Amino acid sequence: MPLAAYEEEVMGYSFIEYGELGRPKYLVLGIPDVGLVGPIASGHLVRTLGMNDVVGIESYGYLPPAAVVVGGTVKYPLRIYVKDQLAVMVTEVMPVTSGIIPLSIAIVEFSRKRGIEYLVGLSGLGNPTRAESQPQLYWLATTPYAEKLAAALGGSTKRLPDGLIVGPYATILKESVKRGVNTLLLLSDSFVDIPDPEAAAVTLQGLSKVTGVQVDVSQLMEEAETLRLRLQSMARETKDTLAKMGKGYEYRAPLIYS
C-alpha cells in the first residue's frame, strides 16, 4: 500500500488518497445490495478496463479490522479505481449496519467536494421470478442533468416504478437530492439473495450507453458460475446486513401513488 498523499474524513470514514484521482466525470458505485449486482459489475469494470486504485476508504468504527491482500499488496477494503473520465468504487467488505448511512452520506459529500459530475449507482432489484425471466433495466435520477444522462439508455429502459427503496442507495439518492448532486441509479431485475452476474452485465450495458465507455461483458457471462461460487459468503453477509436495515419494506407499495 503506497503512502497516503492526502487524507480527508467524512462522517467517520477516511478517504485516503495515495494516487492521482484527478477530476473524473463519473464515479460508479458498487456497493453490496440485492444480487451483489454492484460489486460484481464494479469488479468486472476494474479488471476489463485495467483501472488503478488511487483512494482507499477506511473506518475503524464502521468496518471490521480487515485488510485485503491482492498480489502480495495490502489494500483497503473499500477502494476507488480510476481511468480517464471513469472512477469506480469497489466494496470488498460490508460495513456494519450502523455504518451504511454514514458511508452513503460520505460518498455523496466526497463526490460533491471533488467536483465529480455524476454518481452512477449499479444495483439490483429483487424479483421473485427472476429465475424464469431475463433481467430488465430500470433507472432513477436525482436531477434534470442526471435525467438527461438516462436519456441515452433508450426507450426499452424504464424509469423505476412507484415503490420503496431501502438500503445504501436510498440514502445516496436522498442526500444527492438534498445537495444537488447528479446521481443516476441503474437497477436490474435480479435474484434476491443469490449473486447475479447476468443482472450485473445488464447494468454494465446500461453504463456503457450513458458514459460512452464500452465494456465487454462476455467474460463476465463466461465466468458467471465461478463468480457465484466465490461470492456466496459475501451474499450471506449482505443479506444479513440488509435485513437489519429493513430491506423487507421494499416489498410493499408506498402510501401515496401516482
**In terms of Cα–Cα distance, which of 84, 74, 83 is closest to 16?**
74
* H/E stretch holding 28: strand 26-30
Applying CB under 8 A, does 224 fall inside the site for another protein? yes
Q: Which is nearer to another protein, 127 or 157 (CB)?
A: 127
Q: Which is nearer to another protein, 40 or 192 (CB)?
A: 192
Q: Position 194: which residue type?
A: I
Q: Which is nearer to another protein, 55 or 192 (CB)?
A: 192
If you ran DSSP here, which 8-state letter would residue 62 be given? T
Q: Which is nearer to another protein, 84 or 225 (CB)?
A: 225
Site string for another protein, 113-152 (x = CB under 8 A): ---------------xx-xx--------------------
3-state SS, residue 3: coil
- Min dist CB 45 to another protein, Å, is 20
The H-assigned helical ranges of the chain are 37-49, 100-113, 144-150, 168-179, 197-211, 218-222, 224-230, 232-244
Select the residue interacting with another protein from 228, 245, 249, 250 (CB under 8 A). Answer: 228
Calculate the alpha carbon distances from 44 to 30, 51, 93, 117, 199 in Å.
10, 10, 17, 22, 13
Applying CB under 8 A, does 193 fall inside the site for another protein? yes
Q: Which is nearer to another protein, 176 or 190 (CB)?
A: 190
Applying CB under 8 A, does 201 fall inside the site for another protein? no
3-state SS, residue 121: strand
Applying CB under 8 A, does 47 fall inside the site for another protein? no
Residues lying near another protein in the complex (CB under 8 A) are found at 96, 98, 128-129, 131-132, 191-195, 223-230, 232-233, 235-236, 240
